[in-house]
Amino acid sequence: MKRRIVLNFCRVLTGLIFCATSSQAADPETTCRAITDRFMQAWSAAPTNGAFKDILKDVWYKADEVDQIVKQTEAQQDRAQAAAKDEGKPLAVSFEYLGSRQMGENHLKLVYAEKLERTMIPWSFLFYRPVDSWRMVGILKGEGAKEDLMTMGAEGGPDADIPRQLADAFMKDLSAGQEETAFTNLVEKHWARPEEAAEMKQRIASLYRSRRALGQLTLGKPIPGSYEQLLIKSVGKSLVKVVYLQKHEYGVLPFKAVFYRSGKDWILYELTLGEGVTKEDLASATTLHLPK
* Confidence at residue 245, expressed as pLDDT on a 0 to 100 scale: 94
* Confidence at residue 264, expressed as pLDDT on a 0 to 100 scale: 81
* Confidence at residue 3, expressed as pLDDT on a 0 to 100 scale: 42
Low-confidence ranges of the chain (pLDDT < 50): 1-24
* Confidence at residue 2, expressed as pLDDT on a 0 to 100 scale: 39
Locate the domains of the chain by residue range.
17-151, 158-283
Answer yes or no: are the C-beta atoms of 90 and 80 closer than 8 Å: no
Q: CATH number for 158-283: choose from 3.40.720, 3.30.450, 3.10.450, 3.40.50.
A: 3.10.450
Report the distance separating Cα 73 and Cα 284, nearest Å.
Answer: 35
* Confidence at residue 12, expressed as pLDDT on a 0 to 100 scale: 35
* Confidence at residue 19, expressed as pLDDT on a 0 to 100 scale: 46
Give the predicted TM-score (pTM) of the model: 0.80
* Confidence at residue 17, expressed as pLDDT on a 0 to 100 scale: 40
* Confidence at residue 203, expressed as pLDDT on a 0 to 100 scale: 94
Instruction: Give every strand in the sheet of 120-128, ordered side by side.
Output: 17-18, 135-141, 120-128, 107-116, 90-103
Nearest by Cα to 259 from 179, 191, 173: 191
Task: Decide whether 17-151 matches 158-283 in CATH topology.
Answer: yes
How far is residue 143 CA from its own chain's centroid?
9
* Confidence at residue 242, expressed as pLDDT on a 0 to 100 scale: 94
* Confidence at residue 228, expressed as pLDDT on a 0 to 100 scale: 94
| Averaged pLDDT of the chain | 81
**CATH, range 17-151:** 3.10.450
2-16 tens-digit pLDDT: 343 333 333 333 333
Task: Judge residue 105's burial from the number of C-beta atoms within 10 Å of its C-beta, 0-12 exposed, 13-18 middle, 19 or more buried.
Answer: exposed
81-102 tens-digit pLDDT: 666 667 778 787 889 999 999 8
